[in-house]
Amino acid sequence: MIISKVNLLSKNRYEIYIDEKLAFVLYKGELCKYGIKAGLEISEELYSDIVKNTLYKRALLRCSHLLERRDYTSYELYKKLKDGAYPIDAADYAINKLISYGYVNDESYARRYIESYISSRSINRIKQDLYKKGIKSDIFDKAWNILSEDGIEADEEGLINKLLEKRHYFDKISDIKNNEGSRDDLVKEYNKQFNYLMTKGFKSENIKKALKI
């Protein structure tokens, strides 16, 4: 393996490229400690030493600092570490440690997220949001089943009506009818609200029930 480039990233941080690929980021003092210079060969032993004795701990510390501010899924932490050029081994070490400590738990995260948004978003929308955060269907289903057993329900029809009231749908329909507006005007307003609610993840049958004209 050849150190192909050492690139200054910030005041005292450097990107280390090995065989033309970004391998990790080190501080200036660590360049001297490990003898890192562009054009030199780096042994498997030295690479492993850097990852295990420096980047493992740094990745764990990075994740710990992130979790002090808010909760993250394991996927989100992996993404943060990847963006920070941490090797996959270091990311695995840090996140597995945090999982073993109970600081990262995707199922618990999913339950808290569902509880927070069940009164303002459709269950499909919540599922889509969690999927983007790395929560797969099986974990979502487990979390939702536990909440359902605890009496948490998704009142989709009630939520649709609240959104329609907020968007003054019923007032608009009443105005069109009272002012003898055309059928086309009614259909136009209907389609506008239908498309909006579909983007929010509501079931089409529930939308149609609420939008009756």
Per-residue H/E/C for 130-150 = HHHCCCCHHHHHHHHHHHHHC
Q: Flag whether pLDDT at 33 surpasses 80.
A: yes
Are 51 and 99 part of one and the same domain? yes
Q: Flag whether pLDDT at 213 surpasses 70.
A: no
Per-residue H/E/C for 50-94 = HHHHHHHHHHHHHHHHHHHHCCCCHHHHHHHHHHCCCCHHHHHHH
Whole-number Cα distances in Å, 37 to 14, 58, 172: 11, 21, 70
Whole-number Cα distances in Å, 173 to 82, 176, 208: 51, 5, 15
CATH number at residue 88: 1.10.10
In total, how many domains does the chain have?
Answer: 4
Mean pLDDT of the chain: 92
Beta carbons within 8 Å of 80's beta carbon, 6+ residues apart: 62, 63, 66, 72
Are 58 and 70 part of one and the same domain? yes
Tell me, what's the pLDDT at 40? 92
Q: Flag whether pLDDT at 195 surpasses 70.
A: yes
Are 51 and 27 part of one and the same domain? no
Q: Band of the pLDDT at 46, cuts 50, 70, 90?
A: very high
| Lowest-confidence segment of 24-33, 90-99, 138-147, 155-164 by average pLDDT | 155-164
Are 111 and 143 part of one and the same domain? yes
- Is-contact 41 56, C-beta < 8 A? no
Q: Flag whether pLDDT at 35 surpasses 80.
A: yes
Tokens of 137: 């269907």
Q: Flag whether pLDDT at 152 surpasses 70.
A: yes
- Is-contact 21 88, C-beta < 8 A? no
Which pTM does this prediction carry? 0.83
Mean pLDDT of 112-134: 93
| Percentage of the chain lying above the pLDDT 70 cut | 100
Q: Band of the pLDDT at 131, cuts 50, 70, 90?
A: very high
Highest mean pLDDT among 90-99, 148-157, 161-170: 90-99
Are 64 and 90 part of one and the same domain? yes
Please tell me which residue, 85 or 148, carries the higher pLDDT value.
Answer: 85
Are 11 and 59 part of one and the same domain? no
Highest mean pLDDT among 114-123, 153-162, 175-184: 114-123
Are 112 and 82 part of one and the same domain? no
Tell me, what's the pLDDT at 211? 87
Are 99 and 113 part of one and the same domain? no
The torsion angles phi and psi of 26, rounded to 5 degrees, stand at: -130, 160
Q: Band of the pLDDT at 179, cuts 50, 70, 90?
A: confident
Q: Flag whether pLDDT at 49 surpasses 90.
A: yes
Distance CA 154, CA 122 (A): 7
Are 168 and 206 part of one and the same domain? yes
Tell me, what's the pLDDT at 186? 87
Are 64 and 22 part of one and the same domain? no
Mean pLDDT of 38-55: 94
- Is-contact 203 124, C-beta < 8 A? yes
Q: Which amino acid, residue 99?
A: I
Mean pLDDT of 51-57: 96
Tell me, what's the pLDDT at 192? 92
Distance CA 104, CA 99 (A): 5
Containing structural domain, residue 176: 156-210
Are 138 and 164 part of one and the same domain? no
Are 27 and 63 part of one and the same domain? no
